[in-house]
Amino acid sequence: MVLTMIASGAIGNAIDGFTQGKVTDMIHMPLLSSITNALNAGDFPIFNLADIYVVLGTLALLALSLLDERHEKRAQAGAAPSHPQN
């Protein structure tokens, strides 16, 4: 599912690039632009749905990999051989 999000966003941007010669961005966030302007960081970027899919998919992939790694460490710690008592 996560890889599908990333791939669909990339394919969507690629289709725009091949058919129009550029990626069409249409979502503008004036509130975020006012915040970034107040921080002297310029306007917040304008983006599209494909960008959202790529970013959210990447963040989800990162989170899932970290959770999986944590789960494996806990499983290994729980599977440590116990020492027999004399």
CA-to-CA distance for 25 and 43, rounded, in angstroms?
A: 14
- Choosing from 16, 25, 43, 68, which is the catalytic residue? 25
H helices of the chain, where? 2-20, 30-38, 49-78
How far apart, in Å, do the first and last CA atoms of the chain sit? Answer: 51
Catalytic residue check, 51: yes
Catalytic entry in 16, 43, 51, 68: 51
68 is catalytic: no
Catalytic residues: 25, 51
